[in-house]
Structure 1
Amino acid sequence: MARDDNPSRASATAPGSDPKRALLTQALEAQSAYVPEMRAEIGPASADWTSSKTFWASDAALDDFIAFEQSRYEGVDAKTAGAFIMNDYGYILSATTVPLFVGFGLIPDLSLSSVALKFYTTERRHEGKVYRARRANVRFVERGFQYGHLSDPEDGERFRSEIETHLRPVVDRIHATTRLSRAALWRLAGDAIADRFLDAGRHFGIVETAKAAAMRILKVPGSPLTNRELQYFDVTIFDRHQKEFSATFQQRGGCCRFYCVEGGAYCTTCVLKAPADRDEELRQAVRDQLGIV
């Protein structure tokens, strides 16, 4: 059973109720409120849902995913389409799993046969422009949940193991079809997970704990998720009252290849960008957000 020192958990359970079921319900409701565009839920397979195992085994499904990514911009080659797919899928997977672990210590069974997907297309803003994106709601098998705690290294290992179990066949499929290297795909997956840990930590008010847990999970020697470039860092400016103001960002370990498309550019925290240039851009972004001239 999960410990009770997480501030996002209810302080009491109604007499006669199943505390694990109550915690699971609370966690799913919190995730849906936090990331309403991609809901996590539990339930049986149905005609409206596609199991991850079926989806990633389907040549037609993957070809359709590639065609979608290539339709978004001019000049998207096969490798860039592979990077975009992993960006989108990593965003989906992290948005529906990381909040459950960060906020409630829950670790879902992420074997492909235990996860179902319901895809849809939406729009999102990237570097000041609006683009189409593929998103999905995710359905888990209830019996597969483990109950732990964000700060427990063993639970972090369990979470990492489930993520790797899920992504290994995904990475293999994308690599075989697009020829983007497995290492590049794993780096993009790690970026998505690290980004969601940071954001979920802010959301649940435990950002330092979440950052520490992410680094334990994503810096394990021998893990395919591990790369030395991925890290969190702070930039500091002086506000209008000449007081220091610091903001935390994630240094990406992988490259989404957005610079390869027509009209594309390096992302603000791209691993290919010089750190000094990156930091100055981020300082200016923070100034703009605070309204500092």
Structure 2
Amino acid sequence: MTAATELPRSQETLVQRALEAQAAYMPDVRAEIGPADAGWTTAEAFFSDEAALDEFLAFEQSLNEGTDIKTAAALLMTDYGYILAAATVPIFAGFGLIPNLSPASVALSFYTTQEPHDGEMHRVRRAHVRFLDETFWQGQLGDVVAEERFRAEIERHFRPVIEAIHARTRLSCTALWRLAADAIAGRFLDSGRRFGSVEAAKASAMQILKVPGSPLANRQLHYFDLSVLDNNQQEFSYTFRQRGGCCRFYLVKGGEYCPTCVLKAPTERDEELRLAMRQHLGVADEIRSGSN
């Protein structure tokens, strides 16, 4: 793995291509290089600001009746994990680039938008991301040194974030780290699909997230495959991420367990996921009509 203080032209081009690809892939969390201008705040400043953190928690509580402070913390961590993973994993999985993720070197521009989920529009909190340091480490999937650097940068960024959320809400640091790991694992899987490197991305994610002693490591987080038969009786397989953390959404009014919730029994989880796969393929409807 190499690091650059003054980027050669070839690496400048690589960084530009990586950021353009990331923005095309994740337009709701655009990553770029630049200063913390007006409308931007560093992650360090944001999570040190009690008023800003309280507003984010209040936003999470406003979305669903019955959201207690710990559930708001879990949902906030889920949203922030999504943001950081979206900004960092694609440029590593697709281009081998690792930015400086010190909270003082990452700026955020938060905004609220609406996204579709289960046929309905829901408000969500998102942010665009700016890397204040133009230096990137360069490696690749499967490079042990690069994977260790990526893990170190992710941990360095999340540690004060998690400490701040824990101090305000008393949701355990362990629970928050599990949610962070879920976000990273999920984005590695999807980035692998995006860049045509699923198996390498999965292997890299597990190398990063399963290091003994790392706060990101937990036994429950993993990938698994399920298969069903399509309309032509051909096997259709899909890879899922088994969560190691819980967003606590099942505790709000009208809430439920996520499809791969850590609290679900594997047999129940697999049955529900296979049904969803059949519905996606149009097989479930045929089975139902054939039984009438």
CA distance in 1 between partners of 2:187 and 2:118 (Å) = 18
1:31 counterpart residue number:
22
Tell me whether 1:246 sits opposite 2:242 in the alignment. Answer: no
Tell me whether 1:159 sits opposite 2:150 in the alignment. Answer: yes
CA distance in 2 between partners of 1:272 and 1:98 (Å) = 26
Please state whether the residue corresponding to 1:143 is helix, strand or coil.
coil
Q: CA deviation at 1:260?
A: 0.5
Q: TM-score, normalised by structure 2?
A: 0.93
Tell me whether 1:40 sits opposite 2:31 in the alignment. Answer: yes
CA distance in 2 between partners of 1:48 and 1:20 (Å) = 29
From 220, 232, 238, give the equivalent of 1:229: 220
Please state whether the residue corresponding to 1:236 is helix, strand or coil.
strand
1:120 counterpart residue number:
111
- In the TM superposition, what are the counterparts of 1:1-293 in structure 2 within 5 Å? 18-292=9-283, 293=286
The one-letter code matched in structure 2 to 1:189 is A
Deviates more, 1:121-130 or 1:254-263: 121-130
The one-letter code matched in structure 2 to 1:172 is E
Please state whether the residue corresponding to 1:74 is helix, strand or coil.
coil
The answer to whether the Cα contact below 8 Å between 1:258 and 1:265 also exists between their aligned partners in 2 is yes
The one-letter code matched in structure 2 to 1:138 is V
Q: CA deviation at 1:28?
A: 0.2
The answer to whether the Cα contact below 8 Å between 1:127 and 1:267 also exists between their aligned partners in 2 is no
Structure 2 CA distance for partners of 1:193 and 1:77, relative to 1, 3 Å:
same
Q: CA deviation at 1:288?
A: 1.1
CA distance in 2 between partners of 1:78 and 1:126 (Å) = 23
For each residue in 1:154-213, what CA deviation from the matched residue of structure 2 results, as whole angstroms up to 9, or x when unmatched? 100000000000000000000010110000000000000000000000000000000000
CA distance in 2 between partners of 1:127 and 1:189 (Å) = 24
CA distance in 1 between partners of 2:237 and 2:161 (Å) = 37
Structure 2 CA distance for partners of 1:126 and 1:187, relative to 1, 3 Å:
farther
Ranges in structure 2 where 5+ consecutive residues have no aligned partner: 3-7, 287-292
Q: CA RMSD in A?
A: 1.2
Please state whether the residue corresponding to 2:82 is helix, strand or coil.
helix
Q: CA deviation at 1:48?
A: 2.2
Q: CA deviation at 1:124?
A: 2.5
The answer to whether the Cα contact below 8 Å between 1:43 and 1:140 also exists between their aligned partners in 2 is yes
CA distance in 2 between partners of 1:114 and 1:164 (Å) = 14
CA distance in 2 between partners of 1:105 and 1:163 (Å) = 15
Matched pairs, number: 279
Q: CA deviation at 1:126?
A: 3.9
CA distance in 2 between partners of 1:225 and 1:124 (Å) = 28
Q: CA deviation at 1:38?
A: 0.8
CA distance in 2 between partners of 1:238 and 1:27 (Å) = 37
CA distance in 1 between partners of 2:228 and 2:166 (Å) = 41
The answer to whether the Cα contact below 8 Å between 1:197 and 1:211 also exists between their aligned partners in 2 is yes
